[in-house]
Amino acid sequence: MEKIKFNHDGEKIHESFCLTSEQGSKLDSIILFESIVADRILELDYHGIRKDAPREICTKTGVLARCFKYTTNEQERMYTAYAFINKHNAALALLSGYEALIKTTSDPKLRNKLLEGAREHFGDEFSQEVMEEKFEEMINKQIRPLKPMRKLIRQIDNSNYDYSLFKAMLDDDDQENPDSYISEVVDDMIEHIKEMRNRDQD
């Protein structure tokens, strides 16, 4: 069996596993990619019903096994197993927050309730037309930061859930460092959702 090596002087976690930054970025990206893929398949093909979905889609070990397909040695597999749970949970939390935001902005019943609440709060201060315009401005402001995530999900869907094909299909703007692309989008979205929650609590 291949011997696992560690660099206890490594400043970054991938260095501690004797991996290059390129290897670390690729493996982080694959974990996020496969976590999103599993969520998309579960939602689109099985309507979110976990008991109907294959175990490789609805269990953590199943998704981890899918990630292992892209590793080339024991060193990479060890790092992937170590990094998996945090990256996987971050992706699921992000998708949950993203889907909640999308529902808030697209569900007609919810939109009507929000408009009714605004009318009760402001009374006759604004006309119906002005109220709806202000509401649309607010919604557009909230969903603007979601566009990169929408784009990422669309790209993953179009890749037939294959990471190599996903990278090959990226736009020129996203090709500069394709193995960091997903992580950057996810990190930016997590920060946006945190900011929104902090504003709601103020």
pLDDT tens-digit readout, 141-154: 777 778 888 899 99
Residue 7, domain member (yes or no): no
Confidence band, pLDDT 50/70/90 cuts, at residue 1: low
Phi/psi at 123 (nearest 5 deg)? 60, -130
User: How many domains is the chain partitioned into structurally?
Assistant: 1
pLDDT of residue 117: 77
Residue 27, domain member (yes or no): yes
pLDDT of residue 67: 97
pLDDT of residue 173: 67
User: Could you give the CA distance from residue 181 to residue 76 in angstroms, rounded to a whole number?
Assistant: 20
Residue 2, domain member (yes or no): no
- Both structure tokens of 197: 């929650």
Lowest mean pLDDT among 56-70, 77-91, 132-146: 132-146
Confidence band, pLDDT 50/70/90 cuts, at residue 200: low
pLDDT tens-digit readout, 159-177: 999 999 999 888 776 667 7
Is-contact 193 93, C-beta < 8 A?
no
Higher pLDDT, 127 or 53: 53
Residue 3, domain member (yes or no): no
pLDDT tens-digit readout, 84-138: 999 999 999 889 878 877 777 777 787 777 777 777 777 777 777 877 787 778 7
Residue 4, domain member (yes or no): no
Domain limits for position 109: 13-201
**For all residues of the chain together, what is the average pLDDT?**
86
Residue type, 173: D
Whether residue 202 has pLDDT greater than 70: no
Confidence band, pLDDT 50/70/90 cuts, at residue 10: very high
User: Could you give the CA distance from residue 193 to residue 184 in angstroms, rounded to a whole number?
Assistant: 14
Residue 170, domain member (yes or no): yes
User: Could you give the CA distance from residue 135 to residue 116 in angstroms, rounded to a whole number?
Assistant: 11
Residue 8, domain member (yes or no): no
Helix and strand totals (H; E) in the chain: 10, 0
Residue 139, domain member (yes or no): yes
